[in-house]
Amino acid sequence: MEYLLHHTHTHKDHARMRCDMQEIVIESLRAHLAAVHSDLASECKMRFATRRRVSRLKAKDASLETLTTEMEARIEELGDDIEDLRKENEALLSDDDNYDEDMDMEPDTEVEAFINNEDEEPEVLMSDEDPEEPPFNDEDAPPALEGPVVDVEDE
């Protein structure tokens, strides 16, 4: 009987030790599972942030592409304007009398009159007033308002 009691007691101790070992394994697996879940959550957040960043960059890229095409079109326009200005500059600097034919333009009589009158000295104005503006008279001024100033609010 003592043998059976001892044998049962050892079985019980072994079962308890197996149960304790399984509990230790279960606790370590739970800790590992919690770590995996937190890693998974952080990876999902990072993936979401990366996708959001990529979509923002794609939108910015698209806007920059449209801006680039607009700027290239503007450069083309300015290139044409520069070419016209260079032709005009060359025509103005040339001693050729028919530079308007080079420019494919009609002769401008006002410009020619101005160029022909270069020998005259320009009129020098000594004051800040415009010579074409009539002088200011106090009689023409509106009458001053009397009384306190009241703010009117819009309704």
Q: Name the token pair of 7.
A: 């044998």
Is the backbone of residue 68 left (phi > 0), alpha (psi -120 to 50) or beta? alpha
* Rounded Cα gap, residues 31 and 99, in angstroms: 91
Mean pLDDT across 48-73: 96
Longest dimension (CA), the chain: 144
Instruction: Quote the pLDDT of residue 91.
Output: 81
Count of Cβ atoms closer than 10 Å to residue 99 Cβ? 17
Give phi and psi for 106, each to the nearest 5. -80, 145
Share of the chain above pLDDT 90, in %: 46
CB 83 within 8 A of CB 103: no
- Name the more confident of 38 and 115: 38
Residue 155 has pLDDT above 60, yes or no: no
Residue 86 has pLDDT above 80, yes or no: yes
